[in-house]
Amino acid sequence: MKALIRKTPQLWVFIYFTLMTLAMTWPLVTRMGNSLVGMIGDNVYFVWMIGWFKEALFVQHVNPFNIWFLNYPEGWSLAYTEITQANLALALPFTFFGSEIFAYNAAMMLTFILSGFFMTLWVHHLTRRWDAALIAGTIYAFLPYHFAHFRIGHLNLSGTHWFPLFFWGLLDLMQAKTVRWRSILLTGFSLGLIALTSQYYFYMCVLVTGLTALILLIFHDRSQLKNLAFWKNLIFSGLVSLPMVLAGVWPYIQLFGKGDMPDRNISIVRQYSASLTDFILPSTDHFLWGEWIGAHFSRNLWIEGSLTIGFVALVLWFIAWWHRKLMKQEVVLRFLLIGMLVAVILAMGTDLHWNEQSVEIPLRGLLAERLGRETLPIPLPGYLFFYGLPFFAKLRALMRFGIFALVFSSAAAGLGASWLLQKRQGWSKIGLTLILLFMVCFEFYPGVYQEFGQVKPREADQWLLAQPGKGALMQFPFELLEDQEHIYDQLIHKKPFVGGFFNAFPPAQYREIRPVMEQFPDAESIALTESLGVEYVFVDQTYYENPTAIIQLCESQGWTYVDTMGDELVFLVDQAK
């Protein structure tokens, strides 16, 4: 057995993270085909996207980015939200073995498995120890940040698995004195995959990496700036990444060119700036003390603010830093420390926050009178970046910069574990490894998942599927047009739909028709519905006090009432009149 493990350690590491993922997300594996962890929300939008890409690529053989049938008749770009092509590629093979929900769940599980696997490989490269590397991989795979976005259904933001590969390659290049093609390929391909996973992550990765590398080179090793091989390595890795980066950013560039990606309001950005407490407090999702944390601290934004590094990781971090010279990992640890500080500062956004409240300095006398206020927030670099750095103001949740602090702290914890384990032999080494693994899992474990959501086809959607032609559908009340669940319904009825997933950057047509459509069922909203070429209208009667009056009013305007199917009043619109 020992000989088999020595010959195939990577396989056993992969199996370990597969089994750990099944355990840490239990009982999802027993409900893979019909349920989603947590409430129905963003998760079902990614389920729709998986189903649509399969339909487009393997059934209709069309461009999956041409979404003419949503936001009908204007059409819609997937770039209004994140596309996460790389994670869709993980999911698509599973659609041939089960439903879109099964494929989504499988892809989500793979984000845990691959995050742990790749972090383990990176730390093993640094330490040449599988035990320490496994500890680092376990920390990184099961971070509360990962569980939080898993629970809310962010397939894109759960895609943290490429970061260890990128920083593995990048750190090798930063220390290289010659051209290193293996590291160039690793850095370039992983950066391209990050761009194809999340534009948030790509932009943030470039910014954090650039600032960290610049600070390290200026204050630690300026000689590298004069090294021609160093610049060749960076240029070549950039060229390797370029095709994938362009594929990832091009839809957003097109949207930006149309003026449909406006800057965020700084008040929203301030709201989604991390607090120092987000990095200190234990997980709000913890099975034992999470409820207490939520009750005693302000955790309204805990999904985005689950940025805790963890006590075990922090202790191992300090051990690694204290012994950095003896470990001969000073350059690596300096990079990790600088990167962590940069990420924390950027995650805290525009100004300093504590417990989700802005920390403000009291003003008195002439200064208060001149500024017209009694307090002043403590500005951070994010405030300057918001107004001065290209595209920075497009970001809403600056908290997400925090993932890079977690990447760096996980790797540093692996180095600290290596120092602890290197002087132990036999059962002492095995025992300490198991204790550390248990402590990490206990500290991060969210508990057995109890809340599951299911999306079941509506009777009205099944009826609509059976109708001939490609007549478009309008859903009332108007607010339901951007409901993710109704986007998923399009997979069932397969008809054009006036709605779409508009919560990030609402398209022009939606903004224009909204004031009128919100007044439904008045005559103007009915006329506008007809002018859009709509043939079918669903009205969710649970939102209206008198459904019978709505039926009578719509019939008086020439619509044909078909039937009430579940909660939906179903109408036909005569486009020939």
Length of the chain: 577
For the cut 80, the answer to whether the pLDDT of residue 417 exceeds it is: yes
How confident is residue 376, by pLDDT bands cut at 50, 70 and 90?
A: confident
62 φ, ψ (degrees, to nearest 5): -125, 170
Predicted pLDDT of residue 47: 95
Predicted pLDDT of residue 227: 84
C-alpha closest to that of 290 among 315, 272, 308: 308
Residues 56/92, Cβ–Cβ less than 8 Å = no
pLDDT above 70 as % of the chain: 98
Cα–Cα distance, 34 to 100 (Å, whole number): 9
Residues 82/503, Cβ–Cβ less than 8 Å = no
Cα–Cα distance, 488 to 52 (Å, whole number): 9
- Mean pLDDT, to the nearest integer, of 459-477? 93
C-alpha closest to that of 485 among 31, 36, 156: 36
Predicted pLDDT of residue 246: 93
Cα–Cα distance, 532 to 279 (Å, whole number): 49
Predicted pLDDT of residue 44: 92
> How many other β-carbons are positioned within 10 Å of the β-carbon of residue 564?
15
Residue with tokens 């099961």: 142
Q: Name the residue type at position 447.
A: G
Predicted pLDDT of residue 576: 58
Q: Which tens digit of pLDDT belongs to each residue from 486-501?
A: 889 999 999 999 988 8
Class of residue 95 by CB neighbours under 10 A (exposed 0-12, middle 13-18, buried 19+) = buried
Cα–Cα distance, 280 to 9 (Å, whole number): 34
Q: Which tens digit of pLDDT belongs to each residue from 382-399?
A: 999 999 998 898 888 999
Strand partners, 4: none
Predicted pLDDT of residue 5: 62
Task: Spell out the residues 6+ positions from residue 249 whose beta carbon is closer than 8 angstroms to its own.
Answer: 195, 199, 202
For the cut 70, the answer to whether the pLDDT of residue 575 exceeds it is: no
Name the H helices within 399-458.
402-421, 426-444
DSSP, res 539: E
How confident is residue 483, by pLDDT bands cut at 50, 70 and 90?
A: confident
- What is the dihedral sign for C-alpha 340, 341, 342, 345? positive
For the cut 80, the answer to whether the pLDDT of residue 6 exceeds it is: no
Task: Write out the two tokens for 465.
Answer: 């599927």
Class of residue 560 by CB neighbours under 10 A (exposed 0-12, middle 13-18, buried 19+) = exposed
Predicted pLDDT of residue 222: 79
Task: Write out the two tokens for 337.
Answer: 């420390």
For the cut 80, the answer to whether the pLDDT of residue 221 exceeds it is: no
Please give the mean pLDDT across all residues of the chain. Answer: 91
Predicted pLDDT of residue 2: 61
Cα–Cα distance, 537 to 560 (Å, whole number): 10
Where is mean pLDDT largest: 74-88, 350-364, 400-414, 423-437? 400-414
Q: Is the peptide bond prior to 362 cis by the omega test (within 30 degrees of 0)?
A: no
Q: Which tens digit of pLDDT belongs to each residue from 12-38?
A: 999 999 999 999 999 999 999 999 998
- Mean pLDDT, to the nearest integer, of 100-119? 97
Residue with tokens 């004069």: 226
Interior/surface letters 491-503, b for 16+ CB within 10 angstroms, e for the rest: bbbebbbbbbbbe
Cα–Cα distance, 235 to 7 (Å, whole number): 36
Predicted pLDDT of residue 3: 62
DSSP helix/strand/coil, 386: helix
β-bridge pairing 472-476 and 375-377: unpaired
How confident is residue 8, by pLDDT bands cut at 50, 70 and 90?
A: confident
How confident is residue 220, by pLDDT bands cut at 50, 70 and 90?
A: confident
Cα–Cα distance, 238 to 233 (Å, whole number): 9
Name the H helices within 55-99.
85-91
Q: Which tens digit of pLDDT belongs to each residue from 533-570?
A: 999 999 999 999 899 999 999 988 889 999 999 999 99
For the cut 70, the answer to whether the pLDDT of residue 100 exceeds it is: yes
Q: What is the CA radius of gyration of the chain?
A: 26
**Gap between the terminal Cα atoms of the chain:** 78
Residue 406: C-alpha distances to residues 144, 346, 417, 508 (Å) = 10, 13, 16, 38
Cα–Cα distance, 484 to 48 (Å, whole number): 9
Question: Crossing angle for the helix pair 199-219 and 181-195, nearest 10 degrees?
Answer: 140
- Mean pLDDT, to the nearest integer, of 73-90? 88
How confident is residue 577, by pLDDT bands cut at 50, 70 and 90?
A: low
User: Angle at CA 368, nearest 5°, toward 367 and 374?
Assistant: 145
Cα–Cα distance, 47 to 575 (Å, whole number): 33
Residues 87/156, Cβ–Cβ less than 8 Å = yes
Cα–Cα distance, 278 to 357 (Å, whole number): 12
Cα–Cα distance, 446 to 106 (Å, whole number): 19
